[in-house]
Structure 1
């Protein structure tokens, strides 16, 4: 753990103060920080490493990119309060306005990249959506399924563009989206920023999530399981994250025969029967139920819920 002297030593360089201020606005890649500061990536990486060693920042690799975010809240919040008081007395540093303008350019670059991606893939997504009930009805049903208890710590596995986080983060204590694809995470960052949400996003595999057991009160697998070659293992890994009294929600297709989805959209499984999903939930130590079948079009969307048995909750408590 970093000492107080190490923290102030880390902040002795103006560049590192600037980086900390930028991270207070949004999570950034090392390349984006370099773009805002007008410095080389190796130099920025060295400054980031010092901040990480002091516990003021966290670094996470996503594909070929390295993203940087603020460190633990209990360490960062008092520090920002102190800096704000000093700035109220002495005035903000001259680089604040310039950095904010260049940060706006980074946001614009992200949004442009997201628009290009959506333009390329919109046709495929529209074709799939046309086969089942409207997304608005699916999302409303998910809301009904989760309405019975507080969301608490929410984790969305396979978050994609972050839609589940966008819908439910405002009612959650903390929201985290996980996805294997760096491209999808970059899209999610743009979308959530445009919605004014500051949820945490991480790269991770659904079979080996980079999270401790019991890290969540609510876990969502929304239209993810049909990509899994081993869905039972994916359900078990999702269930591992659930703390006492927590819930796992799965929304996916019922069995169907649209074989072209394997080749066109990389679906590993053509839907799931209730018996199979309930069996996986039971094997993962959860009590499962079929919440709702949403019929409409050629594909039926089913919502399953898994919860810790009451006896297990009492034992943990």
Structure 2
């Protein structure tokens, strides 16, 4: 009964109901919530604290930013179900306005990232000099994936196509996707030089991969997740295209406090902890099969290998 009272007290305010609705769409910073609600950040912070105290939301600090996400599913799901039922009975006009403002926030995020990618495309490989030599990262990735044929491979956020260069020779087919047309232009040049006839490149979003459910054997997200506004959603989408037993390999930074990377290099996230990745794996129907830590640079690189829950991984036949 105490939990129920805390939840009802927390929701006894229209602003907190609006925040909960917004968080169902995506994780947001306090500043972005303030932008959508049209309220001051201190006021929004107070509302967020009440929701967090009731277990309906969770806060996570990254440098000077505070991100807010939904709380435990066991507490949030019944509330969300009730809100959906009440909205059907009597649609909330304010919710429509909030949704439009949220779309504007998403558009601002996407435009900022796209502008940076277009400007930095020719420097992309040099930017990775913050961590240990890329050759060491690639060797570790090869070791984690093993020597067996990779089957159908998708490289999510392919950038200049380096992962396709590296792994397409061991795959039956290889698909690289990226939102940046300039990145794809550079990748196509590289792949053409290598004569990788089994490789294909497409302009697409990591949240809407151009593959059917269960179509891939291996998915790679190489130094892309820290640019993602919704990392959990990106992992869910990657898991969707994997067959049961398929593998997702993520290479990215361990959690760090290099705040300048957020503004200078458009990093949406300051790295990730094992717990974060494992939580997103679990939500996507993946088990964490292996982790590797690669130290020696200004930033630590981590490898996380997830395996899709289902039938045992069968041996992939060579093309």
State whether TM-score is above 0.5. Answer: yes
1:161-172 matched pairs, under 5 angstroms: 161-172=160-171
- Indicate the residue corresponding to 1:234 in structure 2: 234
Partner of 1:269 in structure 2?
269
- 1:299 equivalenced with 2:288 (yes/no): no
RMSD: 2.3
Partner of residue 204, structure 1: 204
SS at match of 1:313: coil
Does the C-alpha gap of structure 1 residues 142 and 215 become closer, same or farther in structure 2, counting only changes over 3 Å? same
Instruction: Tell me if 1:221 matches 2:200.
Output: no
Partner of 1:184: 183
Structure 1: distance between partners of 2:224 and 2:237: 13
Contact 1:278/1:289 (<8 A) preserved: no
Query: For each residue in 1:70-126, what CA deviation from the matched residue of structure 2 results, as whole angstroms up to 9, or x when unmatched?
Result: xxxxxxxxxxxxxxxxxxxxxxxxxxxxxxxxxxxxxxxxxxxxxxx9997656753
User: Normalised by the size of structure 1, how large is the TM-score?
Assistant: 0.58
Return the offset for 1:289.
3.5
Q: Which residue number corresponds to residue 246 of structure 1?
A: 246
The 3 A distance-change label for structure 1 pair 264 and 292 is same
Do the aligned partners of residues 263 and 118 (structure 1) sit closer, same or farther apart at CA in structure 2, a change above 3 Å counting? closer
Q: Does 1:313 align with 2:307?
A: no
Q: Show structure 1 runs of 4+ deviating over 6 A.
A: 117-120
**2:24 maps to what in 1?**
none
Structure 1 residues 302 and 315 mapped into 2: Cα distance closer, same or farther (>3 Å)?
closer
Aligned length: 197
Q: CA deviation at 1:262?
A: 1.1
Task: Please give the secondary structure, in 1, of the residue aligned with 2:298.
Answer: coil
Kindly state the Cα deviation for residue 140 of structure 1 after the two structures are TM-superposed.
Answer: 0.1
Deviations 1:155-212 (A, max 9, x none): 0000011100000101101111011111111110001111121311111111111221
State TM-score, norm by structure 2. 0.58
Larger C-alpha radius of gyration, 1 or 2?
A: 1
Question: Residues of 1 paired with 2:307 and 2:235: CA distance?
Answer: 12
Q: Match of 2:311, SS?
A: helix
Q: Structure 1, residues 51-78: CA drift from partner, whole Å, max 9, x if none? A: xxxxxxxxxxxxxxxxxxxxxxxxxxxx
Structure 2 stretches lacking a partner, 5+ long: 1-116, 315-319
Structure 2 matches for 1:42-191, cutoff 5 A?
125-126=125-126, 128-147=127-146, 149-191=148-190
Q: Summarize the alignment of residues 6-21 of structure 1 with structure 2, pairs less than 5 Å apart.
A: none
Shift in alpha-carbon separation, 1:315–1:160, aligned structure 2, 3 A: closer
C-alpha change, 1:285 and 1:149, in structure 2 (3 Å) is: farther
Residue by residue over 1:227-258, the C-alpha shift from the partner in whole angstroms, topping out at 9 and shown as x without a partner, is: 01110000000010101321000000001111
Instruction: Flag the 1:272–1:201 CA change in 2: closer, same or farther, 3 A.
Output: same
Q: Secondary structure at the match of 1:238?
A: helix
